[in-house]
């Protein structure tokens, strides 16, 4: 059923444009449907699964089909493999696989288990619901492409647009190597279509860490494409050829470090200021874009022939600011870069620190801590105070500039834009200072290269039978061999067009610019540079010794891995803590919701009870009012009845009193009316007193009742409030107990996470320390080998140097004696002219005695000079021996060295005849024979103590 459903799904796909083609997928699917609908009668019948696989393989020929038109794949793995960078975008099915999904709709969402990602055009299935041919079908999802594609693959359009399609070997000609480094080699070249001179940086992405190398190449290309400033290197393009990226940039004559290497002396302050201005302008441009160079040094500060400063080598640059990666060259690193993984992030001010170190490099020919191991220098940079200029010849303005760049606190360190207004940069200087510097350097390079060329030519053309030439060649063997290697290696990198014929001697590339020594060739290239052949050869030899580069790159890679592992663990702890907090928050919110409901019910009950009490009080108040009003009404009626009776009685009495006939009727009526009026007033007054008394009584009784009821309500409210407070107290205690429990659980989780982080940090620090210790041991072993070679060379050249120095002292002695003799003769002739003949004999004797005394003093001075020279040489050897012993005291070969020194010290300094050469050289010859008589291999393993 599952197969039929899948085939029906395939048949209903949007493949109408392919339906009419012979052998189309629709026709094949229909044939499979027909096969599936018929029962299998024999073993040789067509297998529907095999036909279905054929359909799938046929569809895989159309990689441009959208995701909605894709077909399900037959897989055996629980999930699909990631999409390969080359080949078909769908993995090929294999035999015996089961159909485990139907087609996913276009734009399907990524599942929560993270097995696949959207928008790759590649299907992914979950096998948890399938155990064979069943009706349950899991809907597949569309997977994302793999983040790290195969190095050198241009299937990704975004990566393909970074590279040119043409062949670089045909596009460029006359390639000559002008530099070498850990990344690869840099070449001088000419662009064939435009005849433009360019520099090509060849970077191979094969070997170890190929994916990382490829990503670094892409990063540098993207970075260079975004730049457009006069003080940053101009990007020309990039090519791929034989697993090597050809990064084409504008050509510069050399770097600031090349100038230091050529002149063998520091730059002048005016020249340093001009270079600093160009570098600061380039850095200000980068920092305004939110970029960080992170590798500012003299070797990455290039100069054009017109004296324009260019920032180069953006392989270590950061595309976002702030950053926290361990990147850069150790001696130029800022403290916050070294400590970034432990203490936080850094910004563009790290380039300002590197600028300050570069100023010291230009002023002293090397950066601080350059004589120690790179990893040791990292600790000194982070822990020690900021370095300063050592010489006292520099101005206060330059010192203030360097101190400002090297503030240990990044907050106090100025920005590159602010440093552009520093007095060192803004003060007046010659506009051609860098052009003059480049001109002097090019002239020095021409002299050096032509000198090496003449030495090489002299060695090649010298007569082997000429003993004098042999001695001279032997005396200059080291320099000549080095020059020969330089010339041959550089000449081999040039193109054939630079050599007009094969019979011409191999000319160094720098010498081709000199018209004083070489003839002008018709097809000579304009190869202007300030890099001598010795610099190129030195870089090639350093590149051949990849121990230090591999060591440092491995150390940086280890630090990045440590940082990634730490960030991953911190992110995991953060997610775990967030989930833990969500659970606790839900529990606490549920408790608070329960508390609020309980309080709401309690409040409702209290409100109802208060309302009932208020209603009862109102009813009692109405009853009391009614009762009092009824009694008062009866009292008023009784009062009125009584008053009426009293009025009738009083009226009868008044009439009886008025029955006297003698009183006139009018008078009787008036008196009666007066009595009635008085009676009514008295009655009205009594009635008013009664009404007022009743009213006061009613009010008094009502106030008594209200007071009583109010006290009862207040008592009730107090009881209800106490009940509510008790309830709230219970809830708070419950909530506090829950919060305490949550706090303990969170604290325990934090402790556990911190223990894991600290354990990881401890493991990383231990691994880092072990790596640094191994590096230091290798550094010490390398230093030991170099010192042994140097010491052996000094011992080998010791007799010859002593002989030369003694001959020089003897020559000076002879010249002094000749000068003194001439002075004596002149003085004698002058004195004889002015002295009488009788006194001339005594004067001549006195002059001879004085001459003999002075000659004896000169002889003593000669002997003393010889002795001081031998003593200085012995002290120098002692210091060299102590230096080796201090590095490696276990390897004691002091006995042999002190035997040589003893032979030097026993020389007879009382030389007063012509055999002094034999007396001086003989002990040295004996010492050298003694030294050579021992096996050199036994020196390193000798454990004898130095003889006293």
Binding site, annotated residues for ATP: 202
Q: 3-class DSSP state for residue 449?
A: helix
C-beta separation of 224 from 289 below 8 A: no
Cα-Cα-Cα-Cα torsion 163, 166, 168, 170, nearest 10 degrees, comes to -170
Angle at 388 between CA 385 and CA 391, to 5 degrees: 145
Q: How far is CA 529 from CA 251, 448, 495, 587, in A?
A: 10, 13, 17, 74
* Whole-number Å distance between alpha carbons of 426 and 512: 38
* Whole-number Å distance between alpha carbons of 415 and 350: 10
Phi, psi of 911 (to 5 degrees): -95, 120
Rounded to whole angstroms, the maximal C-alpha distance in the chain is: 216
C-beta separation of 199 from 249 below 8 A: yes
* Whole-number Å distance between alpha carbons of 630 and 881: 134
Binding site, annotated residues: 202
C-beta separation of 559 from 326 below 8 A: yes
Q: Is the dihedral of CA 408, 413, 415, 420 positive or negative?
A: negative
Residue 295 known to be catalytic: yes
Place of tokens 């130029």: 332
String of DSSP letters for 63-124: TTS-GGG----EE-SSSPPPPPSSS-SSPPP-TT-EE---PPPTTPPPPTT-S--SSSSEEE
Identify the bridge partners of residue 199 per DSSP, sorted by sequence position: 188, 249
- E strands, 207-264, where? 235-241, 244-250, 254-255
Cis peptide before 322 (omega within 30 of 0): yes
C-beta separation of 491 from 507 below 8 A: yes
C-beta separation of 199 from 251 below 8 A: yes
Name the catalytic one among 126, 174, 258, 295: 295
C-beta separation of 946 from 898 below 8 A: yes
In this structure, are strands 196-204 and 244-250 parallel, antiparallel, or unpaired? antiparallel
Angle at 543 between CA 540 and CA 548, to 5 degrees: 150
Supply the DSSP symbol for 513. Answer: G
Q: Pick the closest to residue 243 from 206, 293, 280 (CA basis).
A: 206
C-beta separation of 141 from 124 below 8 A: yes
* Whole-number Å distance between alpha carbons of 424 and 739: 62
Q: How far is CA 748 from CA 571, 575, 742, 752, 859, in A?
A: 18, 16, 10, 6, 90
Q: In sequence order, which residues have a C-beta less than 8 Å from that of residue 560 and are 6 or more positions away? A: 325, 326
C-beta separation of 427 from 268 below 8 A: no
* Whole-number Å distance between alpha carbons of 352 and 358: 10
Q: How many residues make up the chain in this entry? A: 948
Place of tokens 């709709």: 105
Q: 3-class DSSP state for residue 311?
A: strand
- State the distance between the two ends of the chain, measured CA to CA, in whole angstroms: 99
Report, as residue numbers or ranges, the catalytic residues: 295
């Amino acid at each position: 059923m599952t197969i039929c459903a899948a085939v029906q799904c395939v048949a209903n796909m949007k493949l109408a444009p392919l339906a009419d083609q012979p052998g189309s997928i629709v026709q094949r699917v229909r044939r499979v449907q027909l096969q599936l609908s018929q029962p299998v009668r024999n073993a040789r019948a067509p297998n529907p699964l095999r036909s279905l696989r054929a359909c799938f393989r046929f569809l895989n020929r159309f990689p441009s089909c959208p995701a909605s038109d894709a077909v399900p794949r037959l897989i055996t793995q629980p999930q699909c493999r990631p999409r390969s960078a080359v080949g078909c975008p769908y993995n090929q099915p294999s035999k015996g696989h089961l159909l485990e999904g139907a087609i996913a709709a276009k734009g399907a969402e990524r599942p929560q288990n993270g097995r696949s990602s959207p928008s790759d055009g590649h299907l992914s299935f979950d096998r948890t619901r399938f155990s064979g041919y069943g009706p349950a079908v899991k809907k597949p999802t569309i997977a994302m492409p793999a983040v790290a594609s195969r190095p050198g693959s241009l299937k990704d359009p975004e990566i393909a647009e970074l590279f040119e399609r043409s062949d670089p070997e045909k596009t460029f000609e006359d390639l000559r190597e002008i530099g070498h480094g850990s990344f690869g080699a840099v070449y001088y070249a000419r662009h064939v279509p435009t005849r433009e001179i360019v520099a090509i940086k060849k970077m191979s992405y094969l070997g170890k860490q190929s994916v990382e190398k490829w990503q670094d190449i892409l990063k540098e290309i993207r970075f260079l494409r975004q730049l457009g400033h006069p003080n940053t290197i101009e990007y020309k393009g990039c090519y791929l050829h034989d697993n090597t990226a050809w990064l084409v940039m504008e050509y510069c004559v050399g770097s600031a470090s090349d100038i230091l290497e050529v002149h063998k002396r520091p730059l002048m302050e005016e020249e340093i200021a001009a270079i600093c201005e160009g570098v600061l302008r380039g850095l200000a441009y980068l920092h305004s874009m939110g970029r960080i160079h992170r590798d500012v040094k003299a070797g990455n500060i290039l100069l054009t022939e017109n004296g324009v400063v260019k920032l180069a080598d953006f392989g270590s640059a950061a595309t976002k600011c702030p950053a926290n990666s361990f990147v850069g060259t150790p001696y130029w690193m800022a403290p916050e870069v070294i400590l970034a993984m432990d203490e936080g992030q850094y910004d563009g001010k790290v380039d300002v620190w590197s600028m300050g170190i570069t100023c010291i490099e230009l002023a002293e020919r090397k950066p601080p801590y350059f004589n120690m191991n790179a990893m040791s220098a990292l600790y000194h940079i982070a822990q020690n105070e900021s370095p300063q200029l050592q010489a006292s010849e520099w101005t206060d303005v330059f010192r203030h500039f360097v101190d400002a760049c090297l503030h240990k606190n990044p907050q106090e360190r100025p920005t590159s834009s602010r440093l552009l207004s520093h007095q060192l940069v803004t003060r007046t200087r010659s506009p051609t200072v860098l052009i003059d510097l480049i001109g002097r350097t090019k002239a020095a390079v021409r002299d050096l290269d032509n000198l090496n060329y003449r030495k090489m030519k002299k060695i090649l053309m010298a007569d082997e039978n000429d003993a004098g030439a042999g001695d001279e060649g032997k005396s200059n063997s080291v320099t000549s061999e080095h020059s020969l290697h330089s010339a041959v290696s550089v000449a081999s990198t040039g193109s054939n067009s630079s050599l007009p014929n094969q019979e011409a001697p191999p000319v160094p590339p720098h010498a081709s610019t000199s018209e004083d020594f070489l003839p002008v060739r018709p097809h000579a290239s304009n190869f202007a540079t300030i890099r001598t052949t010795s610099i190129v050869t030195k870089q090639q030899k350093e590149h051949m010794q990849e121990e230090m580069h591999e060591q440092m790159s491995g150390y940086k890679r280890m630090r990045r891995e440590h940082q990634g592992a730490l960030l991953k663990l911190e992110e995991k702890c953060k997610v775990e803590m967030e989930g833990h907090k969500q659970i606790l928050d839900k529990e606490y919110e549920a408790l608070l919701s329960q508390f609020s409901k309980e309080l709401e019910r309690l409040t409702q009950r209290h409100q109802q009870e208060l309302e009932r009490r208020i209603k009862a009080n109102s009813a009692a108040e109405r009853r009391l009012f009614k009762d009092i009003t009824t009694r008062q009404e009866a009292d008023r009626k009784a009062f009125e009845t009584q008053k009426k009776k009293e009025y009738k009685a009083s009226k009868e009495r008044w009439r009886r009193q008025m029955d006297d006939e003698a009183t006139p009727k009018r008078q009787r009526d008036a008196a009666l009316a007066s009595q009635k009026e008085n009676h009514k007033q008295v009655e009205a007054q009594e009635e008013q007193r009664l009404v007022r008394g009743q009213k006061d009584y009613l009010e008094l009784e009502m106030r008594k009742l209200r007071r009583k009821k109010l006290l009862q309500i207040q008592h009730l409210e107090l009881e209800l409030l106490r009940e509510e407070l008790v309830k709230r107290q219970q809830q708070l205690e419950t909530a506090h107990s829950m919060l305490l429990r949550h706090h303990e659980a969170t604290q325990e989780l934090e402790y556990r996470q911190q223990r894991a982080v600290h354990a990881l940090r401890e493991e990383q620090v231990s691994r880092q320390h072990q790596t640094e210790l191994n590096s230091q041991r290798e550094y010490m072993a390398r230093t030991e080998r170099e010192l042994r070679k140097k010491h052996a060379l000094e011992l080998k050249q010791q007799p010859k140097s002593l002989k030369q120095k003694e001959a020089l002292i003897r020559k000076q002695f002879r010249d002094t004696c000749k000068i003194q003799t001439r002075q004596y003769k002149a003085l004698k002739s002058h004195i004889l002219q002015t002295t009488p003949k009788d006194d001339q004999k005594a004067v001549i004797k006195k002059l001879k005695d004085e001459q003999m005394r002075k000659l004896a003093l000169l002889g003593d001075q000669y002997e003393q000079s010889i002795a001081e020279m031998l003593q200085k040489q012995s002290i120098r050897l002692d210091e060299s021996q102590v230096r080796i012993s201090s590095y490696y005291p276990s390897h004691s070969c002091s006995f042999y060295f002190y035997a040589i020194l003893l032979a030097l010290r026993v020389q007879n300094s009382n030389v007063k005849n012509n055999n002094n050469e034999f007396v001086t050289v003989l002990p040295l010859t004996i010492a050298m024979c003694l030294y050579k008589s021992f096996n050199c291999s036994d020196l390193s393993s000798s454990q004898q103590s130095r003889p006293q």
